[in-house]
Structure 1
Amino acid sequence: MAHTIQDKRKLLTRIRRIKGQSEALERALETESGDCTAVLQQIAAIRGAVNGLMAEVLEGHLREHLGAEERTPQQRQDDLEQVMTVLRSYLK
């Protein structure tokens, strides 16, 4: 998982942004501000941020594991199956 270590700072920045968005959503719901549009926008922003994080980690994983020339066909197939399992779960 060297690709996540290389991009650690960038990934942690994204995660902290998601955390902040989630906390803002929680505060909006706790205060019962009544602004449904703001709540919906916050949910959409969180979803977009999570999708962006997933895309970035997935791209790194594909390049590192499936694109590596030293991987055997069986290793690539195993990695592909793992990615497909995660993607099926993510897209439910």
Structure 2
Amino acid sequence: MPHNAKDKHRAITRLRRIKGQAEALERAVEAGSDCAPILQQLAAMRGAVHGLMADLLDGHMRETMARQPAPSQADIDEMLSLLRSYLK
């Protein structure tokens, strides 16, 4: 979760863009559009989601690691779990 106003605004902007892409994709499917543009839109959405995930993960890692002089094993395990889910 972004904690400063600038990062929060950037995350919300990205989420709104993704929401708009999903709504456009739904309309295209309902209208029976060709597969190629739908697949292209899906790829764009995937890129937007991955970019948002990378930004949030970056911020979370920086905040967690900055809290203490040395990360605990629980912090390390949490980071590894987040990285694994991101890389799926």
TM-score range, shorter chain: 0.7 to 0.9
| 2:28/2:38 contact within 8 Å kept | yes
Question: Which residue number in structure 2 is paired with residue 41 of structure 1?
Answer: 40
Question: Which residue number in structure 2 is paired with residue 57 of structure 1?
Answer: 56
Gaps of 5+ in 2: none
Q: Which runs of 4+ in 1 moved over 4 A?
A: none
For residues 1-92 of structure 1, what are the structure 2 equivalents within 5 Å? 4-6=2-4, 7-33=7-33, 35-66=34-65, 68=66, 70-73=67-70, 75=72, 77-92=73-88
Cα displacement string for residues 10-63 of structure 1 (whole angstroms, at most 9, x for unaligned residues): 100000000000111111111112x21100100000000000001111111111
The alpha carbon displacement at 1:74 in A equals 5.0
Q: Percent identity?
A: 56
Q: RMSD over aligned Cα, in angstroms?
A: 1.6
- Tell me, what secondary structure is at the counterpart of 1:32? coil
Count matched residues. Answer: 86
**Structure 2 length-normalised TM:** 0.85
**Structure 1 length-normalised TM:** 0.82
- Counterpart Cα distance in 1 of 2:79 and 2:15: 21
Q: Which amino acid aligns with 1:19?
A: K
